[in-house]
Structure 1
Amino acid sequence: MGAARSRHSAEAPVVGSVRRAELALERCYVNIDRHLRASGAPVRIMDLFARLRQRGDFSVPITHPSDWGLPAEGCPGQVIWSSSEMAFGFLYKVQALASSLGRDWNAALPSNGWQIVHFFGFDNSFNHALLYPALYAEVFPHWTPRIRYHVNEFYLLDGKKFSTSRGHAVWGKEVLSPKTVDVVRLHLGLTRPEGERTNFTLDALRRTGKEIFQGIWLNWLDALHREIKQDFGGHVPDAGDWSPADRAFFARVEMYRAAMERAYSDDGFSVRRAAAQACDFVRDCVIYRQAQDYA
């Protein structure tokens, strides 16, 4: 850094050196590669790993001078870097979960039967998908961790990165209320940055609420509720004999159910696809209902 200065003092920073514990990550590349392929890591993470390997030797400090954190054994005046500490924090969370379920899982003896699922933004990919597997291989050489990685790209606001420090953000209290929470959830699902950056605008959120949620979903449900209440005393009537059109529609409902199940599964996880399926399902219901009005 050139002309570095502190915000806490007018004194010039002290330049010096310190010995820190490091992990030579290049020694772990084979284990990382094996792990990512077995985990079915997204292409975006595989590309990050390929670019890392091109750098050749690459050491990651895992301790640093501080009095805040877990003391680093053998390194006086230093603590364990929080990012490397977090890798093992996950295992202790698994152990804590086990105690509430009456299981005997042990963080110090991780099992090959565990399935861990990580959700994170792409800017955390190095830690989650490259550093943590390397640390696990160093500490638990006989453990083969099974980890799934679900990654978000950056979600922009009006075409620019969210920044709370610059006030470029949307605060929850501005858009969230008991009446709007479902609209916000639907819109975020439809625009989730999966595999690409996407953009949030308040105008687009309002359109989702007006044109999709109110204009289609609630109008359909309100009309259906009124009909059941007025014509059938508030009880859903028996469908009677099904026509070929009814059976065809039921088959479409089953297709949507299977697609939603897939969108929320570990292998095919996609909130954006689930939200789109929900919208398509409701539109099909509206079309089917309109066709049945003649009866």
Structure 2
Amino acid sequence: MIGERATYISAGDDHQSYVARMAKQEGRDPATVAAENGARIRESLASAGISLDLFASPAQSPRYSGFIERFFRTLLDRDALEERTTDQPFCITCDRFAFEAHLRGRCSHCDAESDGGICEACGKPNAGADLIDPACVTCGGTPERRPLRQLWFPLERYRSAAEFTFACAWLNPRARALVAELLAQPLPDVPATQPAEWGIAVPASGYDDQRISAWFELGPHYLALTDLLPEARGNPGGWQTPWTGFDNVVQCFGFDSIYFHVVLFPAIFQAFDPRLRPPIGFITNEFFRLDGSKFSTSRGHALWAGAFLREHDADALRFHLARVAPEIEQTNFTLDEFEATRRDELIGIWDDWLKDLAKRCEAAGGMVPLAPAPRSAPLALARLASLFGDLSHCYSVQGFSPSRAAHLLSEIVRVARRFRAEHAVFDGKPASALEAAGALAVELAFARGLALAAAPILPGFADRLWRDLGERGAVAEARWELLPAMPTAGTAISLSTTGYFEPARPGSEPAPPEPTSEAETTPPADDIETAPSEAEGEPIDANAEARAEAPSPAERTEPAPRANRRRAR
């Protein structure tokens, strides 16, 4: 919308230990679990009108695995990995080492319950062995300590990369506070391999019974996804271009992944190739809860977006998720609150104004009237321009806030309704006919501005309203306006007199999204990317649905590929 080419890519955490844990619980193969949940993710994205340039399934792509293996060998060749033996938790009952999702205890930093690897409460890492009162997740038994030979990444050696990223990239205050606290202490060494059967094989002799750590893999994961992209889009250049050239990379993820993205991954990149540029910004969110409790598919406490959207309007859901997005604190989803947003806000406020506007347009001949604007128009239009300025910030990397954007969209409607209420006095009075016609044109300017501003969050509604206002082409192809324009006099108007958010409205669904990966055109089997997922699949994600197509109106001169890591939250 601002003339930039943005590339939006994502993938599943197919090799996470959570996938293997769920597969074991269900007596199934991890690859099957990842693929089936990945299909749900793809359905959810399509149902919500979200399109990506690539949505990869790492476990199904030999090319992806090959890239990770080459990356790992390069680190070995550059002595960036160290072999050492340490005492690690071992479950006697299960006859296996317990790590990451297979181990649970209390965080040594904040005392909250935590799995191995990262604490979701405080965002600080752990090595598993330093958990307090650790227990095997599978059997509940207390593990003993046994020596384990692994490859480790000496993170402190590459501290400068994390410090540079922290100094240069955009982070919200909560993320900055966490990273500052992490960097104030010596950085811990990180296991690059784990004693697992699921994952990418370690390309080093003597480690046949281990796999590359899924958390460690997620660093080069982004480079591997970019490597898949040129073939998916038919573009030359290879994976190096976005990471060593002038493209800008923005990453989106949850609070519990801040340590990995801002501290660990830049260090891994520096060890691999010092020419790699870190992302210019990191957009994070907190956990999103369902009826007051954490989403959990293992307990059946989840809403599947694909199924939900078969019964509910996608735009209404996207708008509600944007309003309640957990940007600075954990927030909650309830069906009652969603229905209230649709009924009281979108139907009761937005549709109420638009239906009234539609009837008055019909009475005026179904076109934008040719009349001088009323004396109050400059002040009203200045307020609209001010709201657009605020929205531009909300859609930028530095100020990214779907929640604030949603409230600003509602403010556009409220300002328009107030303007209408002030000028209703001219209705039916021949002496004030020109004033009434001019006021109607100003209201149509507000409706046009609403369509343009709402496109990132409510694409189906915005596109329909845009066309009903006589504008040509899709609203997503329109240029963003810091000073919203008045509609052209004489333009035919065909606003809906029945509203835009009422249920069972034929044609109200958003247009089908563009293909989300090269898999849409039946590519070679080696590169089919169909079903990325963690074990927990794709329950509704407050930020992801709202932000997925939000363009950034911040002025930049270079294209901005976006690497976006999505977790089921």
Same fold (TM over 0.5): yes
Distance 1:184 1:89, change over 3 A: same
Aligned to 1:128: 261
| Stretch moving more, 167-176 or 239-248 | 167-176
Secondary structure in 1 matching 2:253 = strand
Secondary structure in 1 matching 2:182 = helix
Q: Shift of residue 69 of structure 1?
A: 3.0
Instruction: Show CA shifts across 1:206-257 (max 9, x none).
Output: 221121111101111112122222x134x33235111221121111111122
Amino acid in the other structure paired with 1:84: F
Aligned to 1:202: 335
Gaps of 5+ in 1: none
Whether the 8 Å CA contact 1:120–1:150 is kept in 2: the answer is: yes
Distance 1:141 1:180, change over 3 A: same
Distance 1:258 1:204 in 2: 29
Residue 227 (structure 1) aligned to one of 360, 375, 378: 360
| Stretch moving more, 170-179 or 151-160 | 170-179
Instruction: Show CA shifts across 1:72-110 (max 9, x none).
Output: 222431322222223222123334434526341434993
Instruction: Show CA shifts across 1:144-168 (max 9, x none).
Output: 3233110010112232222222222
Distance 1:57 1:8, change over 3 A: closer
| Stretch moving more, 44-53 or 263-272 | 44-53
Say yes or no: does 1:259 pair with 2:390: yes
Residue 153 (structure 2) aligned to one of 12, 23, 42: 23
Distance 2:370 2:320 in 1: 34
- State how 1:133-282 maps to structure 2 within 5 Å: 133-172=266-305, 175-177=308-310, 180-229=313-362, 231-233=363-365, 235-282=366-413
Say yes or no: does 1:89 pair with 2:221: yes
Instruction: Show CA shifts across 1:237-278 (max 9, x none).
Output: 235111221121111111122221221112211101110100
Distance 2:372 2:272 in 1: 64
Q: Shift of residue 290 of structure 1?
A: 1.9
| Stretch moving more, 209-218 or 235-244 | 235-244
Secondary structure in 2 matching 1:21 = strand
Distance 2:299 2:423 in 1: 54
Say yes or no: does 1:61 pair with 2:191: yes
Aligned to 2:442: none
Q: Shift of residue 44 of structure 1?
A: 2.2
Q: Shift of residue 47 of structure 1?
A: 2.6
Instruction: Show CA shifts across 1:161-217 (max 9, x none).
Output: 222222222343664347532221111111101111122222221221121111101
Gaps of 5+ in 2: 1-88, 95-136, 427-569
Whether the 8 Å CA contact 2:242–2:248 is kept in 1: the answer is: no
Secondary structure in 2 matching 1:244 = coil
Aligned to 1:5: 93
Aligned to 2:171: 41
Distance 1:248 1:201, change over 3 A: same
Residue 288 (structure 1) aligned to one of 419, 439, 447: 419
Aligned to 2:127: none
Distance 1:8 1:155 in 2: 26
Amino acid in the other structure paired with 1:92: A
Amino acid in the other structure paired with 2:293: K
**Pairwise CA RMSD of aligned residues?**
2.8
**Greater fraction helix:** 1
Distance 1:225 1:62 in 2: 62
Q: Shift of residue 65 of structure 1?
A: 3.0
Q: Shift of residue 279 of structure 1?
A: 0.8
Whether the 8 Å CA contact 1:36–1:129 is kept in 2: the answer is: yes
Distance 1:170 1:71, change over 3 A: closer
Distance 1:177 1:252, change over 3 A: farther
Distance 1:8 1:37, change over 3 A: closer
TM norm structure 2:
0.47
Distance 1:279 1:53, change over 3 A: same
Aligned to 2:49: none
Distance 2:163 2:385 in 1: 39
What is the percent sequence identity of the aligned residues? 29
